[in-house]
Amino acid sequence: MTEDIIVKTTARLMTPFIQMFGLYIILHGHLTPGGGFQGGAVIGASMILLAVVYGLEEGEKRMSHDLSTVLESSTIVYVLIGFIGIAAGVNFLASGAAGIPLGRPGDLLSGGMILALNIVIGFKVASTGKTLFYTLAKEDEG
């Protein structure tokens, strides 16, 4: 990796905003276009940006392989949220019918379980994007 101060500074300045934007898309998935997948992809891209600019080791330090293994398995949480419906005596993945408050349409806290499901998907997609990049990059290094 070359020592390029402009690239490094720009990447450092931009990363929080990229991640904030990703989080915004995830959290507003039930209100506006976008959702867990799209927001997760944006956050994943910010991690790839850091790895490209600062090198793979530095990126690994920020988010270890163990952590991404855990985050990639976050789909388990999705299934567990699905079980709330069964526990409440209605069907799998039920939300309003399971008695979860739906809120006022348009509010951030509305739409039952959809917000929680979007957050889970966001984590999953972000860590998968990062892992995909690392797998390809490491294969290239040999």
Identify which of residues 50 and 71 has a Cβ nearer to another protein in the complex. 71
User: Phi-psi region for residue 32, left (φ > 0), alpha (ψ -120 to 50) or beta?
Assistant: beta
Does position 135 interact with another protein (CB under 8 A)? The reply is: no
From residue 38 to residue 77, what is the string marking binding to another protein with x (rule CB under 8 A)? ----------------------------x--xx-xx-xx-
- Tally the C-alpha atoms within 13 A of residue 129's C-alpha that lie toward its C-beta: 21
Task: Report the residue from 46, 95, 118, 127 that binds another protein according to the rule CB under 8 A.
Answer: 95
Least distance between another protein and beta carbon 82 (Å): 7
Nearest to 60 by CA among 45, 48, 72: 48
**Angle (CA) 61 66 71, round 5°:** 105
Query: Would you tell me how many other CB atoms lie within 10 Å of the CB of residue 50?
Result: 19
Identify which of residues 20 and 70 has a Cβ nearer to another protein in the complex. 70
- The answer to whether the CB of 75 falls within 8 A of the CB of 124 is yes
Identify which of residues 59 and 85 has a Cβ nearer to another protein in the complex. 85
User: Phi-psi region for residue 79, left (φ > 0), alpha (ψ -120 to 50) or beta?
Assistant: alpha
Task: Report the residue from 26, 51, 94, 121 that binds another protein according to the rule CB under 8 A.
Answer: 94
Does position 92 interact with another protein (CB under 8 A)? The reply is: yes
Stretch that binds another protein, among 11-19, 35-43, 48-56, 79-87 (CB under 8 A): 79-87
Residues within the interface to another protein (CB under 8 A): 66, 69-70, 72-73, 75-76, 79, 82, 85-86, 89-98
